Structure 1
Amino acid sequence: MILLISDLHLEEGRPDITRAFLDLLNGRARGAESLYILGDFFEAWIGDDAMSPFQRSICQALRILSDSGTRVFLMHGNRDFMIGHGFCKAAGCTLLKDPSVVNFNGEPVLLMHGDSLCTRDEAYMRMRRYLRHPLTLWVLRHLPLSTRHKLARKLRSESRAQTRMKANDIVDVTPEEVPRVMNESGVKTLIHGHTHRPAVHQVQLGGTTAQRIVLGDWDREGWLLQIDGSGFHLESFAFEA
């Protein structure tokens, strides 16, 4: 059994989400072969050297799961793209490139966070290229902590404001981009998060029907994708009171 989750946006202000995540680690994930976290695991991340006690507790929980035998894989999202190898080493997880092709049930599957599929949002794509540039990342990691905190708050505030102003189709994936990246990677299954629109979509690749599975965000409820011998199962679950 393999589990995939995305867009938890973990932060101290949402203890209900944190409890649900820890319940997953102590329950179903403990017996899984692997757990994949496809980005936006944290609401914000300003550097491995700036971990708060809350973030350290999450790191330790992942380490316990990893030590139990479940392999843990983590992909950057647009909120936590500064997570580095220091965190992953401490958490016992492997940092995955975005995109990555993995093998599930003998089938190549493309994993992405999903933001790079939103190519119609040209302003965001320009900002993404700038922020992910190695030189920019080096500069950001060497800024004083107080400056990084201010910059993170500013970016989050601007992101929320701009998202509210943009049309729904702009902040969703570009339909033409999906078959392009799937054909380029030679896969018939794409799994991603980011858009907060959980669903299983059929995709036409020439004369072949493929699938795009969108993981849901953890806000009013939790979402996960379970892959086992019977296939791919996207499900939601309520947070415990």
Structure 2
Amino acid sequence: MSSPLTAGLMPSDWPVLAAPARWHRIDFISDLHLQASEAATFAAFQTYLGSTQADALFILGDLFEVWVGDDVASVLPGRPPGFEAQCQHFLAAASERIPLFFLHGNRDFLLGNAFAAASGMTLLPDPTVLVFDAQRWLLSHGDALCLGDTDYQQFRAQVRTPAWQSAFLAKPLAERQIIARSLRAQSEYRKTSGAVYADVDTPAALHWLDAAQANTLIHGHTHHPADHLLNPGGINPLRRLVLSDWDAAATPPRLEVLRLRHGATPERCKLF
């Protein structure tokens, strides 16, 4: 298996985003898996976007359940805006109030520059280093570090190539949507089959943190929110903070942000 660093950019290429001094509160979310059939989660996201007092919002992947190309957000003459176009509208409105940053997930890795620009979002490579409150935070979706899932890692390596993406996006929209439904059906079957999903590989996470000169990795993807200490007994604690997925229909609802504040430890905030 290739080195975990080869799953994305090399450390020397990892971008470093320095938070402006005016930022005092930063929110992180991931794995909302927005889709037209999940109206309650979409409504909760709209409410959050309209009310958050964060100075910046980082979306660490899988904002959408599936994304087959930016043309899905196109508004056709004589037709009302579709779900993706509605999302674009609300994101654009929120971006007028606060900066929005987006990092691709395994479901929406085809979200491109056109949709990001129209939504007012800044695209970030995976991983990205954030400098805030005199600390370096490593941001990732997390899927590239789940090295135990070899089948997925092979699939990921294939679909992240420019050649594969160009060929896929050249297909008619209807054909892409059929392919996406098939892949989603396979994913749902795997969930119900009792398959065990690989978690983030600890040595790989430590390798990334060392390369980034960071103490904390923030990621989503696994849907298992937790605070993991990666080096028990170490002089400098190294952690990975796992974001929650969103599901307004769950009992209780899963609607959570991870919040960083100046001079405070990270906090998990339940919404609504």
TM-score by length of 2: 0.82
Equivalences for residues 56-67 of structure 1 within 5 A: 56-67=85-96
- Give the aligned partner of residue 265 of structure 2: 231
Establish whether residue 53 from structure 1 lines up as the match of residue 82 from structure 2. Answer: yes
Percent identity among equivalent residues?
Answer: 36
Aligned residue for 1:26?
50
Over 6 Å off, 4+ runs = none
2 CA distance for matches of 1:37 and 1:6?
A: 5
- Matched with 2:188 is 160
Residue aligning to 2:138: 110
Q: Report the CA distance between 1:167 and its aligned residue.
A: 4.9
Query: What CA deviation, in whole Å up to 9, does each residue of 1:92-131 have, x standing for no partner?
Result: 1100111111112121110000111110100000000001
- Measure how far apart 1:165 and its partner are: 4.3
Compare the two structures and name the one with the higher strand fraction: 1
| Equivalent residue pairs, number | 234
Q: Which residue of 2 aligns with 1:126?
A: 154
Aligned residue number for residue 211 of structure 1: 239
Equivalent residue runs for 1:135-150 within 5 Å: 135-150=163-178
- List alignment gaps of at least 5 residues for structure 1: none
Pairwise CA RMSD: 1.5
SS of the aligned residue for 2:201 comes to: coil
Could you tell me the TM-score, scaled by structure 1's length?
Answer: 0.92
Specify the SS of the correspondent of 1:209. Answer: coil
Q: Distance in 1 between matches of 2:188 and 2:47?
A: 29
Asked if the contact 1:163/1:171 (under 8 Å) is kept, the reply is: no
Whether 1:190 aligns to 2:217 is yes
Structure 2 residue runs of 5 or longer lacking an equivalent are: 1-24, 74-80
Secondary structure of 2:240 counterpart:
strand
Task: Write the deviation string for residues 15-35 of structure 1: whole angstroms up to 9, x where unpaired.
Answer: 11011101111112xx32100
Higher-Rg structure is: 2
